A = this chain, B = another copy of it.
Amino acid sequence: MRVLIVEDETELSFQIKKYLGDHGCIVDTAATGEEGLYMGREFPIEVAIIDIGLPDFSGIELIKQLRKDELSFPVLVLTARSQWQQKVEALENGADDYLVKPFHNEELLARLKALVRRAAGFSHPLLEAGPIKLDTISQDVTVDGRTLELTAYEYKVLEYLMLKRGNVISKMALTDHLYEQDFERDSNVIEVFIGRLRKKIDPTGAMNPIETLRGRGYRFTL
């Protein structure tokens, strides 16, 4: 998950960055609205955290600009308690959620995740596809009510595919998502995981929600 933080208090900014970084996010930071706008344009940001009280132009102005540029990633607004009225204005101008300072990093992360999920077309952290239900919080996966015993990586693969259902996911994209940084891709781990997943989802093989597209990748359908 790639996150942009636009926050002028460098200490807070750094602290959030560290926390999110530790939890697997790629984090870009900007200290001013202008800088934030630039980064939002240049990088493939998935979600932004914007402090409403910025030095140059207000966070609200930034959101307006971003929307004008048709940058559609979700935005979470940070407000000081004393500025809580501005949250309404921010929401009206395209922000997707808000959090009052002080907050728990945990809560922040949870909300960011929720936003990204929603942006991907899901409002609930429960991914459903036909008889398959995947709860991203409890990490429970059931097929027709039967619970699957998945390993860590099997789960990650399935979650990712379901999150982007309908899209073709290349093996490269999958490895990039599963492993940090560059990983020796001369092996067939992914194929192995896909195989195991398919078997666990339906041992009979009658139903196969993970489609193979030769030379291109996999696609989750249903």
Q: List chain B residues, Cβ under 8 A from A182.
A: 18
Q: A85-108 CB contact bits vs B (8 Å, 1 = yes)?
A: 000000000000000111011100
Q: Counting CB contacts under 8 A, is A31 at the interface?
A: no
Interface residues on A, range: 35 or more
Q: Counting CB contacts under 8 A, is A216 at the interface?
A: yes
Of the residues B109, B137, B155, contact of A167 by C-beta under 8 Å:
B137
**A139 contacts B102, CB within 8 Å?**
no
Docked complex Cα distance between A108 and B182 (Å): 18
Copy total for this chain: 2
Q: List chain B residues, Cβ under 8 A from A166.
A: 137-138
Docked complex Cα distance between A176 and B104 (Å): 11
**A152 contacts B23, CB within 8 Å?**
no
Q: List chain B residues, Cβ under 8 A from A137.
A: 166-168
Q: Counting CB contacts under 8 A, is A81 at the interface?
A: yes
**B151 contacts A24, CB within 8 Å?**
no
Closest B residue by C-beta to A135: B166
Q: Counting CB contacts under 8 A, is A133 at the interface?
A: no
Docked complex Cα distance between A137 and B182 (Å): 25
Q: A127-157 CB contact bits vs B (8 Å, 1 = yes)?
A: 0000000000111000000000001110100
Q: List chain B residues, Cβ under 8 A from A216.
A: 139, 152, 155
Q: Counting CB contacts under 8 A, is A22 at the interface?
A: yes
**A139 contacts B168, CB within 8 Å?**
yes
Q: How far is the CB of A207 from chain B (nearest CB, A)?
A: 19
Docked complex Cα distance between A164 and B74 (Å): 26
Instruction: Please judge, given known A-B contacts A106-B104, A110-B104, A138-B219, whether A213 and B152 are in contact too, CB under 8 Å.
Output: yes
A–B Cβ pairs within 8 angstroms, 29 of them: A18-B182, A19-B176, A22-B172, A22-B176, A23-B81, A23-B101, A23-B172, A24-B81, A24-B82, A24-B100, A24-B102, A102-B106, A102-B109, A104-B106, A106-B173, A106-B177, A137-B167, A137-B168, A138-B167, A138-B168, A138-B219, A139-B168, A139-B213, A139-B216, A151-B215, A152-B213, A152-B214, A152-B215, A153-B215
